[in-house]
Structure 1
Amino acid sequence: MTMGKVDAATVRRMADTLFIERSWKSPGSTRFWGLLVLASVIAAAGVVGDSTATVIGAMIVAPLMTPILGSALALVLADRSQVVRCVLLVLGGALAVVAIGMLLGWIAAPPDEFASNSQVSSRISPRLIDLLAALATGTVGAFALVRADISDTLPGVAIAISLVPPLAVTGLLITVGRFHDAFEAGLLFATNVAAIVATGTVVFLVYGIRGAARESERYVGEFHGRTLVAVVGVLVLIAVPLTTGTVSVWRDRILAADARPVAEQWAAMGKWQIASVEARQGVVVIGVLGLPPQPAPTVLRTALDRNGMSDADLELHLVGGRTHWCAAGGVTCEVKGA
């Protein structure tokens, strides 16, 4: 069953758009790599500067959507050589973005290792809702390619789905040694890629791309059901850590909510003020404002233990002072960077 008429001209247009020429000097290749490098620099600079507008600009410029949707089209056409080429372009492009992110990280990484950076924090806790959003966005992107009359939605698709920014974040976090968070940002990218390929494959099949491709005398191989099984399997595989991430975020929110009143009561003893309370992977992170003398971190550690948070580590940032680390189950706190 198909939705609407897809003719040979549509398939030729889609193939010309999504399949990048093999030659490095071809217009398609130079455009792809040139835009990718520029988008990578823009994204990494936007993340370092914590600028949402700059990061959005990188999303619009980035050309990674082309080989990703090209992979979906090649899967539908069962064109193995194009599948391999598109996958290599995606992998090579991703590694290039990470490398550029690492380069800018070595040059401009802040002293706090991006701890207060909103662009970083929004991309290191992927959840199931991110997969759902990516599936919807990928569907719109594939639909816009099939229907030339709605192709003006593609810039919105580029903004809605995050490809280059999480890779730039991955590179930046590698440079400061935050390897777990770098993996999480990479997982967000993998989630979006899997969703685009899956939805693109389904949309192209539903629109009867294979039949139209035969009419255009393009090579069409034998499509096996196991291809769809493999695509769905990748989605399920991606969903497992996303489920874990969703549960982790939920637990962190509860932990932060429980820790805030305890921290506020502790800070009031020394007439200090709680600036922020959050939890990251089970670690309570608290920012405190005030004038010397500073309140004792061990007192807060003990108060958290008494209120059922003895299994959570404590990271205490004293503005005007140093950062203290109070390990779960301990009775002393150490000064970080001392």
Structure 2
Amino acid sequence: MTRALPFGPVTEDDLDRVTGKLFLTDRTGLSAFWVLLTLAAVIASTGVVADSTATVIGAMIVAPLMTPILGTALALVLADRRAMLASVALVVGGAVLVVGIGYLSGLLSPVPEVAATNSQVASRVAPKLVDLVSALATGAVGAFALVRSDVSDTLPGVAIAISLVPPLAVVGLTLESGAPDQAGGALLLFLTNVTAIIATGTVVLLAYRVRATAVSTGREVGRLRPRTVVVVVALLVAVAVPLGVGSYQTFRGQRILTAAQPVVAQWAQARSWQVVDVTWSQGVLQVVAAGPPPAADPASLRGALDGAGLTAVPARLSEVLGGTTELPVSPSP
């Protein structure tokens, strides 16, 4: 059937297809959900441990966690309390399962899986406002592809664009590695994506007049209360605040790197050393250097940074063939 309008009401067949796909009520659908989610969690956890982007993308495609999240949005639109509780329970239970598998995978890893040593972890522990914007757009595409069967072939791309299982795997891995602050960042990324999917999914389903179709076909539809919309908006605001803080920290880190890199390079050159890397991670300036004996003098680097106006910036100096030295903020005179 061809719709004259881009947001024409869904047909009864569309509604049956969407509800059948999103509301997992039969044993077959539930068993498939848990089996696929378990396998996706194993793939994601091992992919993060191996620092393999391709493996992690494979986990995104396999993971079925977006189904109950969009099911929550559909239940909100239809004001179906029972379906909403069932969908939320699947999301929460699935999240706990993935975190648990991530934690167990961390026990098998010989080294701590943290942002400083693993790029897959680093990319998921410091979410920013841009992640919320991306998740909102991706959630809208996912809901649109479900309602419109003629564009359903975009769903694998949506699965890759939205990150659900990998952040949860990172939560478990970083908890096992003793980095609860990084686990909190990864959990915030997951909650951001979930909230965005529910919010934009609700908007798209309302735009396609799913409620009107349900009523016209004799389905039982509850009353959509204004407070439901208020709660969804409040959740978006709740995740946007820490994301805004994260964005500011990223901006501040870039400014510090711009100021620190020439200072560190000059300090290393004066001692015939070579700067391997200068990064900003978790609120600390990380300097990695290599050179001939004698060992680098941390106090001289601290003094150089202070002289460049970076007195309040904590730093960490790591020698390629030596140890790591903390350079705390210099005390105020």
| Deviation for aligned residue 1:228 | 1.1
- Residue matched to 1:325: 326
For 1:190 and 1:109, how far apart are their aligned partners in 2?
Answer: 29
- Residue matched to 1:179: 180
| Deviation for aligned residue 1:283 | 1.0
- Residue matched to 1:335: none
| Deviation for aligned residue 1:330 | 5.7
What 5-or-longer segments of structure 2 have no aligned partner? Answer: none
Alpha-carbon displacement from aligned partner over 1:87-118 (angstroms, at most 9, x marks no partner) = 11111111111111111111115257451211
Instruction: Say yes or no: does 1:6 pair with 2:10.
Output: yes
Secondary structure of 2:257's partner? helix
- Residue matched to 2:247: 246
| Deviation for aligned residue 1:214 | 2.4
Amino acid at match of 1:66: T
What 5-or-longer segments of structure 1 have no aligned partner? Answer: 332-338
- Residue matched to 2:20: 16
Check whether the contact 2:113–2:174 (CA below 8 A) recurs between aligned residues. Answer: no
| Deviation for aligned residue 1:322 | 0.5
Secondary structure of 2:117's partner? coil
RMSD: 1.6
Alpha-carbon displacement from aligned partner over 1:25-49 (angstroms, at most 9, x marks no partner) = x111111111111101111111111
Check whether the contact 1:272–1:290 (CA below 8 A) recurs between aligned residues. Answer: yes
- Residue matched to 1:286: 287
Instruction: Say yes or no: does 1:46 pair with 2:47.
Output: yes
Amino acid at match of 2:18: M
Secondary structure of 2:74's partner? helix
Amino acid at match of 2:277: S
- Residue matched to 1:155: 156
Check whether the contact 1:255–1:282 (CA below 8 A) recurs between aligned residues. Answer: no
For 1:272 and 1:219, how far apart are their aligned partners in 2?
Answer: 74
**Residues 1-338 of structure 1 aligned to structure 2 (within 5 Å):** 3-21=7-25, 26-111=27-112, 113-329=114-330
Secondary structure of 1:5's partner? coil
Check whether the contact 2:42–2:102 (CA below 8 A) recurs between aligned residues. Answer: yes
The count of corresponding residues between Structure 1 and Structure 2 is: 328
For 1:193 and 1:70, how far apart are their aligned partners in 2?
Answer: 12
For 1:79 and 1:112, how far apart are their aligned partners in 2?
Answer: 41
Alpha-carbon displacement from aligned partner over 1:273-298 (angstroms, at most 9, x marks no partner) = 11111112431111112233222111
Secondary structure of 1:270's partner? coil
Check whether the contact 1:9–1:216 (CA below 8 A) recurs between aligned residues. Answer: no
Amino acid at match of 2:271: G
Query: Quick one: percent identity of the two aligned structures?
Result: 52
| Deviation for aligned residue 1:218 | 2.6
Check whether the contact 2:143–2:205 (CA below 8 A) recurs between aligned residues. Answer: yes
Which segment drifts farther, 7-16 or 275-284? 275-284
Check whether the contact 1:40–1:164 (CA below 8 A) recurs between aligned residues. Answer: yes
Amino acid at match of 1:278: T
Alpha-carbon displacement from aligned partner over 1:8-27 (angstroms, at most 9, x marks no partner) = 11111111100111x6xx11
